[in-house]
């Protein structure tokens, strides 16, 4: 018999194994989990077809037949993990047959793995319960600034220096604008986004957490309203930089090579309803002629800056920094922080 436990009752460090199919795992999972699937995507689809069109019994038989061919490599892989980790937790979607069969078999062979009660569904229920509570416990320090001021890099440097940081754009795999997906591969689901935020808040060392000012939506991701509300009541830093510096940063970020030029053009074309067809055609022509600085500078001054300004005027800033030097900006933030929490 195996041990079954709810996610919130796990106190010690655990190694999570997701036995769902790769397509399920890639859509959402416990962030630190590794995927050791019982069934590949096509195998799972085949079993589902048999279950729907033939019978439950035949679907089970097919599942057993498929898994039986994988038992030895599965045993070897989980054995290697168990040799390095005291608590190995197995889960599937709902804590049903897939994780139950693995735990039953390997516990009978002496591996003593743990089954996550209710599987990912149970984990998700725990996230829905705990994330708002963790959010209530923190004080956000929100970094504002026009496009190109380097807010994301500021967060990265502060995190490297040991501060607690939530990078919402990184968690969403999107830069938060119409051009925000250019050069970035893969989609992040809403569930996975919230799991990443939960992990950050759960593992924080301090009460304060640095975060970048964002709207309620980043690409296809909705930032929970309770996080947006908590950000509004936090402390606010405004970072300002010259248009020359910002243009240089934007061009470097979006035009790292010419692989994504077509993607950039398609994104600019989406601005037509905001800036008109003639202006879009002008920008596309300049991009194709590699006049990237002109396009970036004009888009910021005429489109992005006015939008961002309207979102900033509602705040009273606790710290304002004017600098074209990221390191100097981070040093100023840390000095201010020390005076605030000394």
Residue 172, both tokens:
């969403």
Q: Is 56 buried (19+), middle (13-18) or exposed (0-12) by CB count in 10 A?
A: exposed
Exposure string for 279-302, b = 16+ CB within 10 A, e = fewer: bbeebbebbeeeebeebbbbbbee
d(CA 104, CA 248): 58
pLDDT band at 309 (very low <50, low <70, confident <90, very high): confident
Residues 6+ apart with CB under 8 A from 254: 179, 182, 183, 260, 264, 292, 296
Mean pLDDT to the nearest integer, 153-162: 96
Q: pLDDT at residue 80 above 50?
A: yes
Which is it for the CA torsion 19, 23, 24, 30, positive or negative? positive
d(CA 247, CA 334): 26
Phi, psi at 265, each rounded to 5°:
-60, -45
Supply the pLDDT for residue 316: 87
Exposure string for 58-67, b = 16+ CB within 10 A, e = fewer: ebeebbeebb
Q: pLDDT at residue 178 above 60?
A: no
In the DSSP assignment, the letter for residue 315 is: -
Beta carbons of 316 and 232 less than 8 angstroms apart: no
Per-position DSSP letters for 164-201, written without gaps between them: -EE-HHHHHTS-SSTTTTTT--S---HHHHHHHHHHHH
Q: pTM of the full predicted structure?
A: 0.85
Residue 131, both tokens:
């994330």
Q: pLDDT at residue 134 above 70?
A: yes
Q: Which domains does the chain have, with CATH numbers?
A: 3-126 (3.40.250.10), 138-341 (3.40.50.300)
Supply the pLDDT for residue 259: 58
Helices (H), the chain: 22-27, 41-53, 56-68, 71-84, 97-108, 119-137, 151-160, 168-172, 190-202, 225-232, 243-254, 261-269, 272-275, 277-288, 292-299, 305-312, 326-341
Helix (H, G, I), strand (E, B) or coil at 63: helix
Beta carbons of 67 and 104 less than 8 angstroms apart: no
pLDDT band at 258 (very low <50, low <70, confident <90, very high): low
Residue 67, both tokens:
């898994």
Mean pLDDT taken over the chain: 89
pLDDT band at 128 (very low <50, low <70, confident <90, very high): very high
Beta carbons of 86 and 67 less than 8 angstroms apart: no
Unique residue bearing structure tokens 């009541």? 233
For β-strands 221-222 and 217-218, DSSP reports them as antiparallel
CA atoms within 13 Å, Cβ hemisphere of 61: 6
Supply the pLDDT for residue 196: 95
Residue of 215 and 157 predicted with greater confidence: 157
Supply the pLDDT for residue 176: 56
Mean pLDDT to the nearest integer, 249-257: 75
Unique residue bearing structure tokens 């019994």? 57
pLDDT band at 185 (very low <50, low <70, confident <90, very high): low
Residue 149, both tokens:
């001021």
């Amino acid at each position: 018999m195996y041990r079954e436990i709810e996610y919130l009752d796990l106190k010690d460090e655990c190694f999570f194994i997701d036995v769902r199919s790769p397509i399920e795992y890639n859509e959402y999972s416990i962030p630190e989990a590794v995927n050791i699937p019982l069934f590949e995507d096509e195998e799972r689809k085949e079993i589902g077809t048999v279950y729907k069109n033939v019978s439950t019994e035949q679907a089970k038989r097919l599942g057993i037949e498929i898994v039986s061919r994988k038992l030895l490599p599965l045993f070897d892989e989980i054995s290697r993990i168990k040799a390095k980790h005291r608590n190995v937790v197995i889960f599937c979607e709902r804590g049903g047959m897939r994780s139950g069969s693995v735990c039953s078999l390997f516990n009978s062979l002496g591996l003593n793995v743990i089954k996550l009660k209710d599987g990912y569904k149970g984990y998700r229920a725990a996230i829905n319960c705990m994330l708002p509570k963790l959010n209530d416990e923190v004080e956000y320090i929100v970094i504002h600034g026009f496009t190109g001021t380097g807010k994301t890099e500021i967060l990265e440097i502060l995190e490297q220096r040991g501060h607690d940081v939530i990078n919402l754009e990184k968690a969403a795999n999107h830069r938060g604008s119409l051009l925000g997906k250019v050069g970035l591969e893969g989609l992040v689901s809403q569930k996975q986004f919230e799991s990443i935020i939960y992990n950050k808040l759960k593992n924080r060392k301090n009460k304060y957490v640095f975060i970048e000012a964002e709207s309620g939506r980043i690409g296809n991701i909705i930032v929970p309203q309770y996080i947006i509300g908590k950000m509004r009541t936090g402390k606010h830093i405004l970072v300002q930089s010259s248009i020359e510096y910002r243009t240089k940063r934007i061009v470097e970020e979006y035009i790292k090579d010419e692989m994504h030029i077509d993607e950039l053009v398609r994104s600019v074309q989406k601005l037509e309803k905001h800036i008109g067809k003639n202006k879009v055609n002008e920008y596309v022509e300049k991009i194709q002629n590699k006049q990237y600085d002109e396009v970036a500078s004009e888009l910021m001054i005429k489109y992005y800056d006015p939008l961002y300004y309207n979102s900033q005027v509602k705040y009273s800033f606790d710290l304002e920094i004017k600098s074209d030097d990221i390191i100097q900006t981070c040093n100023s933030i840390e000095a201010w922080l020390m005076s605030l929490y000394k």
